[in-house]
Structure formats: structure tokens, C-alpha cells
Structure 1
Amino acid sequence: MTSAAMPAAPVVVVIEDDPETASLITLLLEECGFTVHTAANGEAGVAAAREHRPVLVTMDLGLPGMDGFEATRRIRQFSDAYILVISGANTEPDLIMAFGAGADDYLTKPFRPRVLQARIQSVQRRPRRGPGGAAGAARPVLERQGLVMDPWARIVSADGAEVTLTPTEFDLLRLLLEGGRRVRGRAQLALLLAGHSLRGGGAVSSIDDKTIDVYICNLRRKLGDRLEGRRWIQTLRGAGYRLAPVP
């Protein structure tokens, strides 16, 4: 009898120039069931992401040669992998630049191993683009005033023009579209993005909470949702976000 082939382990590319940190991240990832490829600089990291097609990339920012911001931008041009920045840089401009380049999450050094593993496990709970679905399966499309999302194909268009989003930006916009006029607080959105239920709860760091605002800012910029003519995302000061009312 021929045994069934085991499914291939998901792949992660670790881009880190410090050998000890790279070894620690690799060990933690392998404990989570990943196959890991490492790169010690930005150029090699971009090449590894192109070759191995990972589901997740961990990215240091202070890399020799091409820095982590530029490496993130280049990987985002061809990959929908989740990009987790792991860096000693923790200023607000660093976070804004990283998310603007296409990062999905940010963890500062030194980090606790269990926190990194929790972030990794949350990534595994997020949906990814698939090659197809079950025959005859329904593919509901979400629409709102010229904004159209196909959740299965992970495609978004605004007024007929396709909009390129990072995986986290896409997931956040999906939560807002599905919620309609229901207000979602920043902590609620951070929990949902991490794959937790609101009823079951879960830990949300201050960075998770604060960076929801950065994600929303990026979404508005990419969608062309300007203050003077906001059509899609409404801010309720002190409460959170929801879809704007239909005029």
C-alpha cells in the first residue's frame, strides 16, 4: 500500500544580518512547522522570496546594502506573503515607513520568543489567495459605492481600477465592508486581524492598537478616499471606524 504524500510545510524567508537572531527566529519558526530559508542582506532576501514563494517573510530594517524598507517594497511588487518586520528601530517614523513600504506587522527587538510564535500563529489563521474553490461554490462579492472586493480572489477595485493592497490592508478593508455601519474599535480590529474572536478575547499590544490608524491611512491613500470627498471609510473619534453613509 502506498502511503499518501505528506503536504509540504509552508515556507518562511528570514532576512536578518545578525546570525544569533537569525538562528533564534529560525528555531522558533521550525517549531511552528515551517520550512525556513535565511538571507543576511536585502538583495539576497528579495531573491530568496522570489525563488521560494514564502507565506511569510520576517524582515530586519538595518540590513547592509539594501535596507529593509527597500527590500520590503521590492518583495511586495511580486509577492502576497505576510511581511513581519523584526527590528530594533521602534520610532513612529520607522513604523510608518515600514507599513508604507508594505509590511503587515511589526515586532521590536529584543522580543520574547512566545510573542513571536503567537504572531506567527496568527498569520497562519489568516486567509490566503487560493488557486480555486469547490465546484459550484458561491463567491460572494462585497460592494459599496463603486468599491468592489472579491474576497476569494483577493482583488479590490475602486471605480473600476484595481487597487493593490497588502494582505493586512485587504483583511482590514474586508472587515469594514462586512461590518457595514457597525463601529469597530481599534482593539477589536486588531483582535480580528490576528484571528481571534471578540468573544474569546486575546492579547493586543499597544503597537497593534496604534498601527490600525496607519493601516487606515494607507487604505484611504490607496483608495483615493480624501477628506474633502470621503466615500468609504468613516472615523468616529474615540470610538473607531466604519463604512461611510451612502449619500
Structure 2
Amino acid sequence: RISAMLRRPRVASGGAGEAAAPAADPGAGGSSGPGGPRRSTVLQHNGLALDTETRTVALRGTPLGLTRSEFDLLHELLRGTGAVRTRADLVRVVRGEYYREDTYISEADERAVEVHIGNLRRKLREDPQDPRWLVTVRGVGYRLAPKRAE
């Protein structure tokens, strides 16, 4: 337990402004002010819809119950629109502000991301032979599968 705690460094002065900054993603949408036009907060890909504002995910209209980590991983991959994300990058997504760019990431942390991805694939009923959403890039990480005609 002590080793696990030491792998997860704490932020000494975690101000509220620092934690709120990543949520203001220009690609995620939001409103342009009171009464102004509202941009969509929904990311869609191959029948999957992820709403960043309500933190809900639906697969062809059917809601999915995802954990916080699964939602964050899926959101990161959808935002990347096909770019490969390394396991270390995804560990930082799951761990949040505790893991900066220079923080050591152990094999156990990377394995935890693999388990989250596996659970996410199970909930999405992903076909391993013909993936619609998550593609493994061997030895590197994961990326979003190419768009398909619906």
C-alpha cells in the first residue's frame, strides 16, 4: 500500500483554478454567454454518442453505465479523432492532476489502463476481429477506429 501511495504523487498546492482549467476544452463546446448560441457538447463516432456536459454515453440510443475512468478514457480517445494515445498518456488522463508530464508511470499503472480499456470494450460489445471504436496499436497504446458509413 505504501508503494502504491508513493507512485501517486500529490499536488502540494492544488488550487481550484488549476483543476477547472482542463474542463474548458475548446473542442468540447459550451455556451458563448447568456442568451448566446450554444455549441454541442456531444461527440459522436460510429453510433456512439458521448455527452461531455452530462457525462453520459449512449450506444445507438441505449445508455451505457461507465465508470469515471472508462468515461475519461473514451472521451480522450474521441477527442483525439484517431490519433494514437500512448498508455502513459492515458494513465495521466485517468489519474488526473496527480500525474504530471515528468511523473514516473509504472507497469502497474499501464496495466490498470489496459484493464479499463478491456472493461470498456466489454460494455461496448466490441468485436475483437472488427473493432468499431477502440483499436490497439501494439507496443504503443490505443486509437479510435476509422469512421464507418452507418
Q: Which residue of 1 aligns with 2:135?
A: 234
Match status 1:187 vs 2:79:
no
Equivalent in 140, 146, 152 of residue 47 of structure 2: 146
**Structure 2 length normalisation: TM-score?**
0.72
| Alignment partner of 1:218 out of 104, 112, 119 | 119
The 5 A counterparts of 1:1-247 are 109-111=1-3, 118=10, 125=19, 135=34, 136=36, 138-195=39-96, 200-247=101-148
Number of matched pairs: 131
Q: Could you tell me how far 1:113 is from its partner in structure 2? A: 5.8
Q: Aligned Cα RMSD in Å?
A: 3.1
Give the 3 Å change call, closer, same or farther, for CA 193–110 of structure 1 in structure 2: closer
Distance of 2:59 and 2:130 partners within structure 1: 14
The question of whether the paired residues in 1 share the 8 Å contact of 2:136 and 2:142 is answered with yes
Q: TM-score, normalised to structure 1's length?
A: 0.46
**Structure 1 segments of 4+ aligned residues over 6 angstroms from their partners:** none
| Matched residue type, 1:237 | R
Identity among equivalent positions (%) equals 36
CA distance in 2, matches of 1:114, 1:125: 21
State the structure with more CA Rg: 1
Mapped partners of 1:183, 1:228: distance in 2: 19
- Point out where structure 1 has 5 or more consecutive residues left out of the alignment: 1-108, 128-132
Greater relative contact order, per chain length (Cα 8 Å cut-off, separation 6+): 2
